[in-house]
Structure 1
Amino acid sequence: MTDLDLTKRQGLPDALRALAEEYPRTGWSEAGPFRNLITFWLDKHMSFRHLLDRLEADGQAALDGADPAAYRHSLARHGGLLVNELHGHHTIEDTHYFPVLERTDPVFAKGLEILEADHHALDGLLHELTDKANAVLREPSDGNALRDHVGALQAVLGRSNPMLLRHFEDEEDLVVPVLLKHEPAALAY
């Protein structure tokens, strides 16, 4: 599964893109009976993208000399929100949504292995992100040690952002077309 590894993958394999081609993103806004669910789910992914951007921008501002106390406050708030919300989001997907989608559509069932591997890889990344953020939050407000910790956190964010963006896009390309293809009754628990 190395070619499908989240750190190397450039997109879904063609065989898994069949539904995404049948139900392209341009038509997702007209989602019929699943419109609210799809909108909520896509908005959740967008909120994660915004949090990642915020964390990277705040970290760069801290490296450029912004107020350390303000940075730590923002990091605690936005970093905690990102990590906690992503863990919760993935838990709901893994325990509630994905099993139903797997039973409903063979294309999704084939793609589920990729998404599960992504979630496992992202758990490790979120753990590392949390460790680096906690090191920043524990460090005194000034000095080179704080700058070093912020730099280490920025490096993790730099690796995290492309992986999370790849995961979100691929997950959306698997999930939304399945929701668009099937009637609500087909997706009942």
Structure 2
Amino acid sequence: MTQNITVTREGLPTEMQALLRDYPRDTWPGHPNFAASIENWMGAHHMFRDLAWLVRRDMERLLDKELDEDVHAERLGRFGNLLIGNLHGHHTWEDRKFFPELRAADRRFAEGLDVLESDHVLLDAQLERLKTASNRLIQLQYLDPAQADGEAPEVLAAATAIEHLLDRHLADEEDLAVPILLHHKLRG
């Protein structure tokens, strides 16, 4: 079994929260610089949280015999693929386009953006783990159902690790990026 990889920090370092203190989360939606593009980006984060929860919860339901194996295989294939593919695309765009834009706008937060980029590396490892274990589980459910039960805990562990990683990472990403966007009137 692969080791769980999680983000262990308790939020952003104090120095990376300078703008967050000036632009607290509860004021974002009403801020004049809060553009539709920011709302859409945060909406994608919400979707990732929902998909990660769904994949993990379905796995628990399968293990608890509350979800039929065929239904689970179809749902894991569909929702797991959505989670993996969209997360890869999203954080690739962030690393190549979005974070450089934020870095150029406010160099004080380059270290925080570096932390977020290193989270993406951890996330890639967990997504690969989920993909490999999920594909194996689905194949075994059809080819050798007796062995599928042994693969299920690895899928659950990978899904749980992704959910925990996303919880911390997405909150930190929003807490760092949105205040920069609001302060520098970006993406409006």
After TM superposition, the score normalised by the length of structure 2 is 0.90
What SS does the aligned partner of 1:11 have? Answer: coil
Q: Which residues of 2 match residues 15-164 of structure 1 at below 5 A?
A: 15-65=15-65, 66-141=67-142, 143-164=145-166
Structure 2: stretches of 5+ with no match in the other structure: none
What SS does the aligned partner of 1:10 have? Answer: coil
Distance 2:158 2:141 in 1: 21
What SS does the aligned partner of 1:12 have? Answer: coil
Q: 1:53 to 1:164 in 2, by over 3 A?
A: same
After TM superposition, the score normalised by the length of structure 1 is 0.90
Structure 1: stretches of 5+ with no match in the other structure: none
Distance 2:117 2:40 in 1: 21
The 8 Å contact of residues 55 and 76 in structure 2, kept in 1 or not, is answered as yes
Distance 1:147 1:163 in 2: 25
The letter of the residue matching 1:93 is E
Distance 2:23 2:62 in 1: 43
The letter of the residue matching 2:48 is F
Aligned length: 182
Match of 1:175 among 174, 177, 184: 177
The letter of the residue matching 2:117 is E
RMSD, aligned α-carbons: 1.8
Percent identity, please.
36
Superposed displacement of residue 9, structure 1:
1.0
Q: 1:18 to 1:6 in 2, by over 3 A?
A: farther
Distance 2:141 2:105 in 1: 53
